[in-house]
């Protein structure tokens, strides 16, 4: 595998991806429309997927923290549960 220096200073590494001819043809057209290469297109999409996954995990952690803390809704409980459910 060939390592190259990326835009952000990190080393890039080539990989091999096997695609059927129809997918390759579609990818070439899409890459041309976006003024990039198939490699650039795939790299960009993988970056988007990775960012989305990180955002989801961050949101999940925040939601779980809120559930653990509970929310103060500004009211006081003046009666016990038993008093509210007396028959």
The pLDDT of residue 50 is above 90: yes
State how far the Cα of 22 lies from the Cα of 16, in Å rounded to an integer.
17
pLDDT computed for residue 1 by the predictor: 47
> What pTM was estimated for this model as a whole?
0.62
* pLDDT tens figures, 17-40: 999 999 999 999 999 999 999 999
- Residue ranges in 34-80 assigned as alpha helix (H): 38-69
Q: For the chain, what are the domain ranges?
A: 3-67
The pLDDT of residue 5 is above 80: no
Rg of the Cα atoms in the chain? 26
Instruction: Give the chain's largest Cα–Cα span.
Output: 78
pLDDT computed for residue 3 by the predictor: 56
């Amino acid at each position: 595998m060939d390592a190259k220096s990326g835009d952000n200073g990190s080393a890039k590494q080539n990989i091999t991806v096997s695609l059927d001819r129809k997918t390759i043809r579609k990818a070439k057209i899409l890459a041309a429309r976006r003024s990039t290469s198939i490699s650039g297109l795939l790299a960009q999409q993988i970056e988007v997927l990775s960012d989305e996954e990180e955002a989801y995990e961050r949101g999940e952690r925040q939601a779980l923290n809120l559930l653990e803390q509970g929310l103060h809704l500004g009211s006081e409980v003046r009666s016990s549960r038993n008093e509210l459910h007396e028959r």
